[in-house]
Amino acid sequence: MADQNGYVILTAGETSLVLECAIGERPNMLYWGARLEAPDPDLIKAMTTRQHAPGCADTEIASSLLNETGTGMAGLSGFSAHRNGMAWASLFRVTRVLRPEPHRVEIVCEDEITKVRATHLIGLDPDCHVITCQTQIENSGDTALAIDWCASASLPLDPRATRLFGFTGRWSGEFHLEEIAPFLGSYVRENKSGRTSHDNFPGLLVGADETNEQAGPCFAFHLGWSGNNRVRVDRLSDGRSFVQMGEYFFPGETSLAPGEVYQTPPLYAGFSSRGFSALSRKFHRHLRYKVMDGRIDGKSRPIHYNTWEAVYFDHDHDTLFKLADKAASVGAERYILDDGWFGSRRNDKAGLGDWWPSDEVYPDGLCPLVKHVTGLGMEFGLWFEPEMVNPDSDLFRTHPDWILQAEGVEQIPFRGQFVLDLTRPEVCDYLFDCMHKLLSAHDISYVKWDMNRDVHHPGSRGRPAISQQTRALYALIERLREAHPNLEIESCSSGGGRADFGILRRTDRIWTSDSNDALDRQRIQRGASHFFPLEIMGAHVGPETCHITGRRLSMELRVATALFGHMGMELNLLEESAESLEVLKAGIALHKEHRDLLHHGDFHRLDTPEHVNAVGVVSDDKSEGLFSWCNLTGHRQTLPGRMYVPGLDASKTYRAKIIWPKPVRSISRPSVLEATDLGGEGMDIPGEALMQVGLQVPLLHPETCLIYHFQAV
């Protein structure tokens, strides 16, 4: 935390940052990584001195916090702007250094020539050890300043961090982690979908050759933003590497009038010396305690029943009542009425924008259903897609000009809907009024806030406006939450298309994916867990035959998969057999029994062969652990390996049991189940043996998921 002669040092946990910020000089991140007990910045500077190399500039170009255009650094400049083609070579020098809090620094820089003030806002969370970087740009000139690109920061990468992982994905297949082959040059992902996106989640992981889930140095980066974004890694031929993340702008999108200020979204960055799982835990804690607002901290997350895959647009009054009865009887605690309840919304071609109950399907309004649901002891939740309008709607017929569009460019058809222009205050007022009216008139405590299309041409009054649109969306959600302080909101965008720390600052959970296929979900939830903790990941038990993949999976597997998340159901319970309802009910009861641990514990991903996904949570005091071992496809060897249980206390003894499915059977006998009674009363095993010797896993059929419980005795 010390400031020394033109340096600022931030240290928390196992992380240190050393920033160069001498007045009149360029700001720079001299060091970030493992904790330094007694950093001597002058010494670090001397130790890291580079030199002229033949064929290069006479003096090597020094990096800075943005590597802005005027620095002459190779690779993408972290800031690039101009005044109608002039004043384009910005170069920032420090003028002031402010310390609003011990773990935060604001480095104010000026460029007297281009008349730009750039302020770097950098914090190191003293409790969770996550770094937050934002850049503020002020136009201190007297003409308009067009910003083409402004990264939240340009962060240097440790040269030992050789392995790079990015995120790809698609609708119903989000959070796909992909290792990028070594390269010199750039790794770039640009998301222009107008939402966080399914295919370009703004996250990055970097590790050393030896880093795995449990050990080794690693770094992670995430942009807390729900609009367009750019993720970029430059590995320069001079050996230096930088990570940049920020908003992607369309041409001319961001122009500052004299005196105006632009602030980037936060870039969250973390370091761990103990592997990727430990790094995820930092992000989980930071999200839980520093990003989200804590309004529902004291409340257990209720089991959901969602009507979508049970009835789609077929909102039959009797069926919906009966589904509520059935849902309550198996343990649901919240009932969410999905798409189809309003206006002329009898299919996905009409009605969006007309936010009042359909006379046709709900002649007496929503009151009877809400009363029935709450009378059963469940909370009531309602689906909205506020940002959208169908051409076939009263709203569009009245206000055809309320949509985002680029003049002369045809709208690209996408689920038969257009995007409303939230940058117009009258549009947000309309949406607020509609939602406020419904929420005030009924006992509705939950909103599923959906967003189901990409935004290709986000023009407003001639200019591209997705940056402003995203800010307007945040403001609309905030306004609604202010008016309804107990309202909980789920961020859904055709599944996990809008999942990020920006939206989660204003909402309470994400709909992780539209795929309820448990095998898909094992991978999707594992991918998402790099940044998101279990309690914010919506995870539902879907129908036996998945509507999206056509795969048939057992109720036991579907339950085990949804159990490691914010659990819910999304299937037609009226068609389920008595036996399968019994299994579902038992699974829900099991989730409730362990919900506190699942939703507050320390999360671990295990290093396992490809055919296995194993994850778990351990309580803060290490007195209890819950782990899931899913045999996805079957193994190459005759037998599965052992599970080395991470995160326990080596000096404690644990009662180890397999608590799901019941009864648990192995393919052949005798097995570890008989040898240890793991499937029955359990067995007492020292923590050090569980961690170091490992527990043999019984021989399982593919598509089988075991849940192990470890209770300190």
- Which residue ranges make up the site for ligand DGJ (CB under 6 A)? 308, 338-339, 383, 450, 452, 492, 494-495, 511, 514
248 or 511: CB nearest ligand DGJ = 511
Cα–Cα separations (whole angstroms), residue 612 to 521, 550, 560, 577, 705: 13, 22, 14, 30, 9
Alpha helices in 392-452 (DSSP H): 394-398, 425-441
**Nearest distance in Å: CB 568, ligand DGJ:** 11
How far is residue 529's CA from residue 205's CA, in Å, rounded to a whole number?
12
Residue positions annotated with a catalytic role = 450, 514
How far is residue 537's CA from residue 544's CA, in Å, rounded to a whole number?
21
Cα–Cα separations (whole angstroms), residue 539 to 347, 514, 567: 25, 10, 5
Alpha helices in 629-686 (DSSP H): 672-676
349 or 456: CB nearest ligand DGJ = 349
H helix or E strand, kind and range, residue 503? helix 501-504
φ and ψ at residue 425, rounded to 5 degrees? -55, -35
The first and second tokens of residue 658, run together, are 């397999």
459 or 542: CB nearest ligand DGJ = 542
166 or 357: CB nearest ligand DGJ = 357
- Look up residue 567 and give its DSSP letter: E
340 or 687: CB nearest ligand DGJ = 340
357 or 495: CB nearest ligand DGJ = 495
- Cβ(190)–Cβ(151) under 8 Å? no
**Nearest distance in Å: CB 450, ligand DGJ:** 5
How far is residue 522's CA from residue 517's CA, in Å, rounded to a whole number?
9
Residue 690: which of 665, 653, 659 has the closest Cα?
A: 653
**Nearest distance in Å: CB 538, ligand DGJ:** 9
Cα–Cα separations (whole angstroms), residue 195 to 96, 201, 229, 560, 596: 36, 10, 9, 31, 32
* Partners of 613 in beta bridges: 630
Tokens 């194993």 map to which residue?
614
Side chain identity at 51, as an amino acid letter? Q
450 or 556: CB nearest ligand DGJ = 450
What residues contact 464, with CB distance under 8 A and at least 6 apart?
A: 249, 250, 251, 252, 253, 406, 458
What residues contact 576, with CB distance under 8 A and at least 6 apart?
A: 584
Pairing relation of β-strands 612-618 and 695-696? unpaired
**Nearest distance in Å: CB 214, ligand DGJ:** 34
- Cβ(387)–Cβ(473) under 8 Å? yes
**Nearest distance in Å: CB 309, ligand DGJ:** 8
Long-range (24+ apart) CB contacts under 8 A made by 181-184 are 183/235, 184/235, 184/236, 184/237
**Nearest distance in Å: CB 452, ligand DGJ:** 5
**Nearest distance in Å: CB 383, ligand DGJ:** 6
247 or 450: CB nearest ligand DGJ = 450
The first and second tokens of residue 687, run together, are 């923590």
**Nearest distance in Å: CB 308, ligand DGJ:** 5
230 or 509: CB nearest ligand DGJ = 509
The first and second tokens of residue 651, run together, are 């000096």
Q: Where are the beta strands (DSSP E) in 44-202?
A: 79-82, 93-101, 104-111, 116-124, 130-139, 145-156, 163-170, 173-180, 185-191
**Nearest distance in Å: CB 45, ligand DGJ:** 51
492 or 560: CB nearest ligand DGJ = 492
How far is residue 713's CA from residue 710's CA, in Å, rounded to a whole number?
9
The first and second tokens of residue 145, run together, are 């300043």
Burial of 36 (0-12, 13-18, 19+ CB in 10 A): middle
- Cβ(496)–Cβ(510) under 8 Å? yes
355 or 627: CB nearest ligand DGJ = 355
Please give the residue whose beta carbon sits closest to ligand DGJ in the complex: 339
Burial pattern 97-119, b for ≥16 Cβ within 10 A else e, equals: beeeeebbbbbbbbbeebbbbbb
358 or 494: CB nearest ligand DGJ = 494
Pairing relation of β-strands 79-82 and 28-34? unpaired
492 or 632: CB nearest ligand DGJ = 492
Burial pattern 622-646, b for ≥16 Cβ within 10 A else e, equals: bbbbbbbbbbbeebeeeebeebbbb
**Nearest distance in Å: CB 495, ligand DGJ:** 5
CA 189 from centre of chain: 17
CA 543 from centre of chain: 26
**Nearest distance in Å: CB 569, ligand DGJ:** 13
3-state secondary structure of 637: coil
